[in-house]
Amino acid sequence: MHKSPQQKRLRTAFIATALFTAGAVQAGEVIVDQHNKTFIVEGNKVEAITINVGDTVRFRNDDPFFHNIFSLSDLKTFDLGSFPKGQSKTVTFDKAGMVEVECAIHPEMFMEVTIK
């Protein structure tokens, strides 16, 4: 099939974009479930996770009661408020360092997020 000059230009632009993004770290999303008053990643209980600068953590409540995830860490202070089972809230970590994550309703819940 004959390609028009316009189609050729589009193809060149696509390759240039692909080469540019290959060297950059892609920001991702990490899902952290709250289950049995613990933090769960991919089915495993975690007390510490490591992510990349720019990544977003999605806190997802999988318990039949409310959680209120927050952090008082200087690097990233946030308060997601109370949210029920099935709902999730996100936090994007845009600086390298360490953030302590807690739950305002359950003082025993604790997780460290290392951002590198």
Judged by CB under 5 A, which of 70, 75, 106, 110 binds Cu ion?
106
> Order of strands across the sheet with 29-35?
44-46, 38-41, 29-35, 56-61, 88-92
Which two tokens mark 36?
Answer: 């049995």
Name the minimum Å distance from CB 105 to Cu ion: 4
Instruction: Check if the beta carbon of residue 49 is closer than 8 Å to that of residue 41.
Output: yes
Name the minimum Å distance from CB 73 to Cu ion: 18
Which residue lies nearer to Cu ion by CB, 43 or 64? Answer: 64
Judged by CB under 5 A, which of 67, 93, 113, 115 binds Cu ion?
67
